[in-house]
Chains A and B, each alone.
Chain A
Amino acid sequence: ETGVTQTPRHLVMGMTNKKSLKCEQHLGHNAMYWYKQSAKKPLELMFVYNFKEQTENNSVPSRFSPECPNSSHLFLHLHTLQPEDSALYLCASSRSSGGGNEQFFGPGTRLTVL
């Protein structure tokens, strides 16, 4: 266990549903990230939060809406998704100041959009 937890681990949703992914880190980190991992593609950074402030939105469609209420929790709200959004969604955290920015990943949520 890396100290980063994600729920749910698996999610199947229709294109008209609204759902949320949750991430929690117990490492005392201040930066949190959402990544998307699709088959045969590199990990794609979606969003970065540092001290609860969003510092990066990597041109993510608005049907993905992040929320970071505090440095330990991160959410990804999903609505009107497309089948091509089916992927493994990974949350990660790291220290926010200097250092090597070692990121530690949660177990991921396997999302299937029907």
Chain B
Amino acid sequence: QKEVEQNSGPLSVPEGAIASLNCTYSDRGSQSFFWYRQYSGKSPELIMFIYSNGDKEDGRFTAQLNKASQYVSLLIRDSQPSDSATYLCAVKVPPGSNYKLTFGKGTLLTVNP
């Protein structure tokens, strides 16, 4: 069973703080990792993807991947109330699943003004 695990939260941080969202996955062969943001009542929106070990930065967002530990995280610097949403971790697992992603249940983030 290929699984993606996330803390459901809610994770509450004050405005301006760093929010840290974590995700673990069970399949060591997993190749690609994605973070989606989903506002209440809306569809998921892709915000970051990472393929290689290490960090990848995009504006206030940093994705971190550690394949040895089967761990991927998303850091949000200078958190804003508009960042309040559910963050979904998704993992692409090979082989024979070139077009499939496995999603976690998501972590609800609340940024307090």
- Is A112 an interface residue when CB atoms closer than 8 A count as contact? no
| Complex interface: chain A residues within 8 A of B99 (CB) | 31, 33, 48, 50, 55-56, 94, 96, 101
Number of interface residues of B (CB under 8 A): 23
| Complex interface: chain A residues within 8 A of B98 (CB) | 96, 101
* Smallest beta-carbon distance A39→chain B, Å: 11
Number of interface residues of A (CB under 8 A): 25
| B43-A45 in contact (CB<8A) | no
* Main SS at interface, chain B: strand
Nearest A residue to B5 by beta-carbon distance? Answer: A42
Residues of B within 8 A of A (CB): 4, 32, 34, 36, 42-46, 49, 51, 88, 90, 92, 98-106
User: With A48-B99, A56-B99, A101-B32 in contact, is A90–B43 under 8 Å at CB?
Assistant: yes
- Is A84 an interface residue when CB atoms closer than 8 A count as contact? no
| B49-A43 in contact (CB<8A) | no
Q: Which of A96, A101, A107, A108 contacts B101 (CB 8 A)?
A: A101
- Is A104 an interface residue when CB atoms closer than 8 A count as contact? yes
- Is A34 an interface residue when CB atoms closer than 8 A count as contact? no
| B104-A42 in contact (CB<8A) | yes
* Smallest beta-carbon distance A4→chain B, Å: 9
Interface pairs (15), CB distance under 8 Å: A33-B99, A42-B4, A43-B90, A43-B103, A45-B101, A55-B99, A100-B32, A100-B49, A100-B51, A101-B101, A102-B34, A102-B49, A103-B90, A105-B44, A107-B43
